[in-house]
Amino acid sequence: MGAHHPGRPPDPYADLADVAAEARAGMLRTIEASGGWDADPSWRTAFAEVPRHLFVPSYWIGGGNGHDLLRGGDPDPARRVRWMRGAYVDAPLATRLRDGELLSSSSQPSLMARMLAELRVGEEDRVLEIGAGTGYNAALLAHRVGEERVTTVDLDPEITESARAHLRSAGYAPTVVTGDGALGCPERAPFDRIVATCTLPSVPRAWLAQCTPGALVLAPLATGLIRLVVDGPEQAEGRFLHTSAYFVPLRGAARRTEAVPPGSLPRRALHSELFQFLLALTAGVLDPRDALGLWLREGRPARERYGVTVRGPYVWSWLDDPEGPYAWPLPEA
């Protein structure tokens, strides 16, 4: 589909080019209909020209639970076609499992588009991605700002090795680093944008020190997406976007979870995504019953009413006002 990328090796799945073109066009229509890149429509070109199938040569459908592995190298032609079509479905694809635990996936394309659009990337911006995954997101960023301005970090050497291979196959060579994403990548700093593709327990301080003034940080936290404006090495603030976001947790990070006893809360509240967001954001700090009372009193607040502030040694989440009555400390990331 489209012109051949000048630095891209021949596509090993060229015999499925027509299937790929049709499937990719369908993915673009779906992202468009979802409003995925409404905030920055220029991302459409990157999604149209970066071949997702080169980043998912194999994946499990059904999150791995069904143990149905689809592979581009499958000897069965029908299963190869199914693999190619599935590579462009607007859904997350499980790409790496270990002992039944999901370690890496290719995120839902419409969510990726929304995150990239909301990152408000400029043509000259230097971007740090936390969580290399398959390398697909780094390729999209490299297509937009140039591979020399993109750095992606992951803790797992197997993940970074495969991401490099996928990126080479697609003709891109951003910097891929094996390391602790919570520490950022000081040797490649400073950055104008930082985007995480893994859920965080808090905001890593190291990131802020590696940002230029006015830089944006976009990261999954609780079950939402926080976008922070960085005002200095120890200061940042921002609000959550309206969309939900579920990602694999940052490897090595502490998790904030608090079991809610069955029957202790109304079923309607437990089934509310917005109440679950508040529970996740305040886990270990706010009693679930107190959280329910707050949520009802405040009119079942949407995600956009919540925010996060970093000021010196303190990091906290809040409702409506960082200095208001509803504020909860976040742990060290």
Here the tokens at position 197 are 């593709």
Cβ proximity of 130 and 197 under 8 Å = yes
Total Cβ atoms within 10 A of residue 163? 27
Is 202 one of the catalytic residues?
A: no
Angle, CA of 224, 230 and 235, to the nearest 5°: 100
- Strand boundaries in 107-210, DSSP class E: 127-130, 150-154, 175-178, 191-196
Q: Which of 34, 42, 58, 104 is catalytic?
A: 104
Preceding omega of 266 cis (within 30 degrees of 0): no
| DSSP-derived secondary structure for 218-269 | EEEETTEEEEEEEEETTEEEEEEEEEE---PBPTT---------TTSS-HHH
Please list, in sequence order, all residues whose beta carbon lies within 8 angstroms of the beta carbon of residue 184, skipping any fewer than 6 positions away.
128, 130, 153, 191, 194, 204, 206, 207, 209, 210
**3-class DSSP state of 5:** coil
Please give the positions annotated as active site: 104
